[in-house]
C-alpha cells in the first residue's frame, strides 16, 4: 500500500513556482481550490498543501492533497478503531481535506502514491501535534471505494467520511 514514489516523481509543499492555473482533474471544486484558494490557505496556515511533480517538469502539478488538524466525537469513531484511540470526548485527527490527480494522469496509481505520502506525513507529525487518526471526506461512493482500497474504513455506514488510526498507519508504513 505505501509504495515509494518512482525516482522521477516527488511530493513537495505548494510554492509560488508551481503552475496551479493549468491544473485540472475534472472536478471543478478541486480544480478551483488549487487554482484560487490553496496559496491563501498555505499563507494563513489553514491547510498544508502538497503537490506531486515530475522532477523533469518541476512547475507542473500532477496531483495534490491537503492536510489540516481536526477532531471527531468519540461516538463518530467505529468501535473497532476505538481500541487504538484515547478515551477523550473529542479525538484529535489529521484531515486529508482534498486529494486530486491531473486528468491526463488518472488511472496510473498516482492517487495511491498521494495517499501513501499523506499517511507518512500525518504519521510523522502525529507525535508533534497529537493526532490519533487520519480522516478523509470522500465526495462520492467511487471515492469511498478508492479510500477503502487504501485501508481506510467508513466512520459510519451512511457516511462519506472515512478514517484510519495512526496505529494502523504505523504498521502499513513499516512494511
82, 167 in Cβ contact below 8 A? no
Q: Which of these is catalytic: 33, 65, 123, 147?
A: 147
Question: 3 in a domain, yes or no?
Answer: no
Question: 2 in a domain, yes or no?
Answer: no
Strand residues in the chain grouped as ranges (E): 9-13, 48-54, 63-73, 90-101, 133-137, 153-154, 161-165
pLDDT exceeds cutoff 90 at 175? no
Q: Please, which pLDDT band fits residue 156 given cuts at 50, 70 and 90? A: confident
Q: What is the pLDDT of residue 57?
A: 94
Question: 139 in a domain, yes or no?
Answer: yes
- Residue 68 sits in a domain whose CATH number is 3.40.630.30
If you average pLDDT over residues 38-67, what whole number do you get? 96
pLDDT exceeds cutoff 80 at 4? no
Q: Please, which pLDDT band fits residue 6 given cuts at 50, 70 and 90? A: confident
If you average pLDDT over residues 79-93, what whole number do you get? 72
In terms of pLDDT, which residue wins out, 132 or 64? Answer: 64
Cell digits for 70? 481536526
Instruction: Tell me which residue range forms the domain holding 46.
Output: 9-173
If you average pLDDT over residues 1-5, what whole number do you get? 61
Q: Please, which pLDDT band fits residue 73 given cuts at 50, 70 and 90? A: confident
Question: 1 in a domain, yes or no?
Answer: no
If you average pLDDT over residues 41-62, what whole number do you get? 96
Question: 4 in a domain, yes or no?
Answer: no
**pTM of the prediction?**
0.90
DSSP-based helix, strand, coil % in the chain, nearest 5: 35, 30, 35
Q: What is the pLDDT of residue 90?
A: 82
Question: 67 in a domain, yes or no?
Answer: yes
Q: What is the pLDDT of residue 49?
A: 98
Asked about 147 being catalytic, the answer comes back as: yes
How many domains are there within the chain?
1
The residues, any chain, with a CB within 8 Å of residue 28's CB and separated by 6 or more, are none
Q: What is the pLDDT of residue 107?
A: 93
Write b or e for each residue in 96-107: b if 16 or more Cβ atoms lie within 10 A of its Cβ, otherwise e.
bbbbbbbeebee
If you average pLDDT over residues 109-123, what whole number do you get? 96
Cell digits for 119? 499517511
Q: What is the pLDDT of residue 72?
A: 84
Amino acid at each position: 500500500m505505501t509504495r515509494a514514489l518512482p525516482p522521477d516523481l516527488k511530493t513537495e509543499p505548494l510554492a509560488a513556482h508551481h503552475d496551479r492555473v493549468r491544473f485540472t482533474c475534472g472536478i471543478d471544486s478541486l480544480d478551483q481550490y488549487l487554482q484560487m484558494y490553496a496559496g491563501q490557505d498555505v499563507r494563513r496556515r489553514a491547510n498544508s498543501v502538497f503537490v506531486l511533480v515530475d522532477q523533469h517538469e518541476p512547475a507542473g502539478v500532477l496531483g495534490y492533497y491537503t492536510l489540516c488538524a481536526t477532531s471527531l466525537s468519540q461516538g463518530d469513531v467505529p468501535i473497532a478503531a476505538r481500541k487504538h484511540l484515547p478515551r477523550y470526548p473529542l479525538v484529535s485527527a489529521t484531515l486529508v481535506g482534498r486529494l486530486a490527480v491531473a486528468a491526463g494522469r488518472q488511472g496510473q496509481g498516482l492517487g495511491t502514491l498521494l495517499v501513501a505520502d499523506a499517511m507518512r506525513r500525518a504519521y510523522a507529525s502525529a507525535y508533534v501535534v497529537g493526532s490519533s487518526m487520519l480522516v478523509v471526506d470522500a465526495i462520492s461512493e467511487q471515492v469511498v471505494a478508492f479510500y477503502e482500497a487504501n485501508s481506510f474504513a467508513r466512520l459510519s455506514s451512511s457516511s462519506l467520511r472515512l478514517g484510519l488510526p495512526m496505529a494502523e498507519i504505523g504498521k502499513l508504513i513499516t512494511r
